[in-house]
């Protein structure tokens, strides 16, 4: 099955700096990679996702890049703000065997702290 | 609108007691539904998923079970809770506007004492 590794486990930056979180996946059949942000005590919220037919996607200060050859994808947050502080999870979805249930395999999470 | 409801929001139960958590979805039909558990400070563990009424697949063998009696209702149950069952239980659903994307409900925080 799919295995997703996420690094770093914790990341501390100063307000205004950029933050980068990286994930690697094992299943070359994976074709969908969402990123979730989870604030303390709340549900994970989808912030951006990318499908395997594109290499990069951007939404304001957030971007995701995908390298299918190397099987890794990254989340980039520019001009970080204190409200970006949260736990971020990456995930991958394998389409191996034509499964339609959309099972996601999550990374272990990254605790991002943005210092004012 | 597309909404996921979970109840109760919080629950404190003694060891050995039964459990029933409910998830309902609005604004879609025939969604894929998922139950996740998140231990304190940890990642997301997929427990069960369902692609239709009465169709349940288990990811982790344990003392929990799931049922889907209606198209947009997903229930997580246990006959006897263990201390290790404590955690944040999240229901997730797919919606037709974004194929394959999972959205999470507000969660149930369970403490087993």
DSSP output for A80-97? --GGG-EEEEEEEEE-GG
CB contact under 8 A, A101 and B90: no
- β A10-14/B98-104 pair status: unpaired
- Whether A102 and chain B come into contact, CB under 8 Å, resolves to yes
Query: What average pLDDT does this structure show over A93-114?
Result: 80
Facing A102 at nearest CB: one of B90, B100, B107: B100
Residues from chain B contacting residue A42 (CB–CB below 8 Å): 106-107
Judged against a pLDDT cut of 70, whether residue A67 lies above it is answered with yes
Judged against a pLDDT cut of 80, whether residue B109 lies above it is answered with yes
Contact, A106 vs A89, CB < 8 A?
yes
CB contact under 8 A, A106 and B105: no
pLDDT given at position B61: 65
Distances (CA, A) of B38 to A17, A27, A54, B22, B58: 30, 24, 31, 17, 16
Provide the shortest C-alpha distance from residue B89 to chain A (in Å): 10
Query: What average pLDDT does this structure show over A55-71?
Result: 95
pLDDT given at position B95: 80
A110 CB neighbour count, 10 Å cutoff: 22
pLDDT given at position A101: 62
Using one digit for the tens of pLDDT, what is the confidence trace for B24-45? 999 888 899 999 999 887 889 9
CB contact under 8 A, B102 and A102: yes
Judged against a pLDDT cut of 60, whether residue A98 lies above it is answered with no
Query: What average pLDDT does this structure show over A62-76?
Result: 96
- Whether B35 and chain A come into contact, CB under 8 Å, resolves to no
Query: What average pLDDT does this structure show over B62-70?
Result: 94
B87 CB neighbour count, 10 Å cutoff: 19
Facing A104 at nearest CB: one of B102, B106, B107: B102
CB contact under 8 A, B100 and A43: no
Report how far residue B39's alpha carbon sits from residue B66's, in angstroms, rounded to the nearest whole number: 19
User: Three-state SS for B85?
Assistant: helix
Q: Biggest alpha carbon distance in chain B?
A: 41
Considering only alpha carbons, which residue of chain A is nearest residue B40? A41
Judged against a pLDDT cut of 90, whether residue A94 lies above it is answered with no
> A8 or B60: which carries more pLDDT confidence?
A8
A104 bridge partner residues: A93
């Amino acid at each position: 099955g799919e295995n997703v590794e996420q690094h770093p486990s914790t990341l501390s930056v100063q307000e205004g700096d950029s933050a980068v979180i990286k994930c690697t996946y094992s299943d070359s059949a994976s074709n969908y990679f969402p990123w979730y942000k989870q604030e303390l005590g709340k549900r994970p919220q989808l912030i951006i996702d990318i499908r395997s037919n594109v290499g990069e996607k951007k939404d304001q200060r957030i971007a995701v890049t995908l390298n299918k050859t190397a099987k890794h994808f990254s989340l980039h947050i520019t001009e970080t703000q204190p409200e970006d502080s949260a736990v971020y999870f990456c995930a991958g979805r394998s389409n191996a065997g034509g499964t339609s249930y959309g099972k996601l395999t999550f990374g272990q999470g990254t605790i991002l702290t943005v210092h004012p | 609108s597309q909404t996921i409801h979970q109840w109760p929001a919080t629950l404190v139960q003694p060891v050995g007691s039964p459990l029933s958590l409910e998830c309902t979805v609005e604004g879609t039909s025939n969604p894929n539904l998922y139950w996740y558990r998140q231990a304190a400070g940890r990642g997301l563990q997929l427990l069960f998923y369902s692609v239709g009424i009465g169709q349940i697949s288990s990811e982790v063998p344990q003392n929990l079970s799931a049922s889907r009696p209606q198209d947009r209702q997903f229930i997580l149950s246990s006959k006897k809770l263990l201390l290790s069952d404590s955690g944040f239980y999240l229901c997730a659903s797919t919606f037709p506007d974004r194929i394959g994307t999972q959205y999470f409900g507000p969660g149930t925080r369970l403490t087993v004492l």
